[in-house]
Amino acid sequence: MAILEVDSLRKEYGDFTAVDGSTFAVERGEVFGVVGPNGAGKTTTLKMLAGLIEPTGGTAVVAGHTPGDPAMQRRLGFLPEESPLYEEMTANSYLEFFADLYDVPRDVARDRIERSLERLDLEHRDRRIGNMSKGMQRKVAIARALVNDPDVLIFDEPASGLDPLTTNYIIEFTRELSDEGKTIVFSAHNLFHVESVCDRIVIMNDGRIVARGTVEEIRDAHGGTEYHVYATADAGGDPVAGEPTVDADGDGAGAAGDGADVDGTGVATGDAGADASGGGEFRHVVADMDGVEAVREAVEREGGRVTDIQTKTPSLEEIFLEVAGEPAAARDDSATGPADENAEDTENAEDAADTENAAEART
């Protein structure tokens, strides 16, 4: 049963539409990712769910209540992108202060805070928050979101800008919270984290949801797995100029957008490799094993042989760049088919990818 339901949620700032009619539901115990490039509308969406900003249109129901309703606030934990912390306080005094605001009895609060900080592996709890590292401060902010033992947690970029160790800790912790039955909605740039922890995601761009589903479903809707069959004879493939046929790129990825010649018959329909007389090698891109078999038969009829077969699965990042790079007119909110190839406006998506690359580079 859905614990969080959003219907046609919308936020306008004057003439500008920050969130343009989002509809989704999150099941109890799910980790649900809201993904998108800078300015996509993620924070605005999460703040509306947390009752911090008023929607211009549409509805949201969180744990049976309208956002902003005090009854909902008791069941919700919100981690803002930038958590304002009281720098003069220690972690313990700060968290006890917030537990008081939620009327959590002192002894319950102490146990809860101790457990959260223990699980988050927060050291130096008596240090002034202002003197803590960024990662430690983030952990304190997460513990704050848990102080009222909420059913629903909304985390805005929980691990953004943190070192890999702290990031992994937070991602693992998020998974554990969901295993305990808490529902978590979180926004992220870093698609690796999304892929490792989210049950389902929506990808937003320019205020709209442009893809939705499990990572697998989104992959399938945007190309899915392809097979690259390398052979010494042409069966309707592309000539491979000087590329080794074995382990062509070694990474098993990178095929998104490269398989436009799959025509559903299993055999590629692209460049027929008219210069086959050179005795070169040919790559045939097909969608399934039947296609692989069809290529093998055709190649053998030509007197050639298959030298290598590679499976290519588009990474979430490649799909993200594809769907987040689409112009507004080409968007498909239902994510039921490959996106339009016309992808001129990739600046935002590239920013996001850069952010991710930078994060990966620190690993």
Ligand X SMILES: Nc1ncnc2c1ncn2[C@@H]1O[C@H](COP(=O)(O)OP(=O)(O)OP(=O)(O)O)[C@@H](O)[C@H]1O
Interface contacts to ligand X, rule CB under 6 A: 13, 16, 18, 36, 38-44
Q: What CA–CA distance (Å, rounded) separates 98 from 104?
A: 9
Output 50 or 120, the one with its CB closest to ligand X. 50
In degrees rounded to 5, what are phi and psi of residue 281?
A: -115, 155
Minimal distance, residue 20 CB to ligand X, in Å: 10
Minimal distance, residue 36 CB to ligand X, in Å: 5
Minimal distance, residue 352 CB to ligand X, in Å: 8
Minimal distance, residue 60 CB to ligand X, in Å: 15
DSSP per-residue letters across 40-88: SSHHHHHHHHTTSS--SEEEEEETTB-TT-HHHHTTEEEE-SS----TT
Q: What CA–CA distance (Å, rounded) separates 336 from 141?
A: 38
Output 34 or 140, the one with its CB closest to ligand X. 34
Using the structure block, give the residue that is written with the tokens 């934990």: 77
Minimal distance, residue 2 CB to ligand X, in Å: 23
Output 12 or 258, the one with its CB closest to ligand X. 12
- Buried b / exposed e along 293-319 (16+ C-beta atoms within 10 A): ebbbebbeeeebebbebbebbbbbbbb
In degrees rounded to 5, what are phi and psi of residue 14?
A: 60, -125
Q: What CA–CA distance (Å, rounded) separates 24 from 62?
A: 12
Output 36 or 239, the one with its CB closest to ligand X. 36
For residue 46, which amino acid is it? Answer: L
Minimal distance, residue 205 CB to ligand X, in Å: 9
Mapped onto helix, strand or coil, the DSSP state of residue 310 is: strand
Q: Are 228 and 262 in contact (CB under 8 A)?
A: no
Output 18 or 177, the one with its CB closest to ligand X. 18
Q: What CA–CA distance (Å, rounded) separates 240 from 229?
A: 11
Output 40 or 255, the one with its CB closest to ligand X. 40
